[in-house]
Amino acid sequence: MIIFAFVFGYVSLLIELIFFHVPSVANTKNFFKKNNNYKIDESQYITEIYEWPKWKKMMFLTVPFFFINIYFLIPFLYFFPNFHQNNWLLFETNYELIVVGSLCVILGRLITFGSMLYMRKENKQIQNNFKLHTKGIFKYSRNPGLDGMFLFFIGFGILFPSFLIFSGLVFYFFYMRFRVKIEEEFLKKNFKEEYLDYITQTKRFLLF
């Protein structure tokens, strides 16, 4: 079951990133080289980040992005027990936890992949042609894709209860929350009252 969760989780993630990636105004690259598809000059918050000195961009954008990508590989340590000491484990797994963890991984990927497919079907979000998604799964969360990713890593934390996984999850959450705030500023300027009405009715994330 653990092997299936790993294969399903990472193969689906790879397919999503290659074929169904949805561009974001919060992409780190956009703050080093201006992307004319995004009207960042209309947002003071985004403009301030764009005008940060290069060292600050490296420290708060590039370095965290690098560690996030490393974090995505941590669950693979499960297959290399010689490189991972037992004293890094927070608790022992059992059959019930393996079932719960596997279901979290699978459900998390289904939520994220499903939300990406929904967005791509409704609008490819290229150039300045954007659409505010408020229906379907977006009725319950403004960021269902991230909800799925949080559940994905919580699942791996249960399957592979390492201090590295859970500490990385906290870092991942706060980093993605920072990126979400950038996207929210863009959406406020782009969709104005429509987006402001939406945020009063729908939570930023599914559970909070």
In a domain, 9, yes or no: yes
- Domain residues for the domain of 78 are 2-201
pTM score, whole prediction: 0.86
* Residue 202 to residue 148: CA distance in whole angstroms: 17
Write the pLDDT tens digit of every residue in 156-181. Answer: 889 888 888 888 889 999 999 999 99
Residue 208 lies in a domain: no
* 207 within domain boundaries: no
Whether 206 is covered by a domain: the verdict is no
| Per-residue pLDDT reduced to its tens digit, 106-118 | 999 999 999 988 8
Greater confidence (109 vs 133) lies with 109
Q: Is 89 inside a domain boundary?
A: yes
Confidence of residue 143 (pLDDT cuts 50, 70, 90): very high
- Answer yes or no: are the C-beta atoms of 130 and 84 closer than 8 Å: no
Q: pLDDT-derived band of residue 199, with 50, 70 and 90 as boundaries? A: very high
Question: Considering the chain, what is the average pLDDT of its residues?
Answer: 84
Helix 2-19 to helix 95-122 angle (10° resolution) is 20
Q: What stretches of the chain show up as alpha helix (H) in DSSP?
A: 2-19, 44-50, 54-57, 63-71, 95-122, 144-159, 163-191, 193-201
pLDDT at 85 over 70: no
**How many domains does one find in the chain?**
1
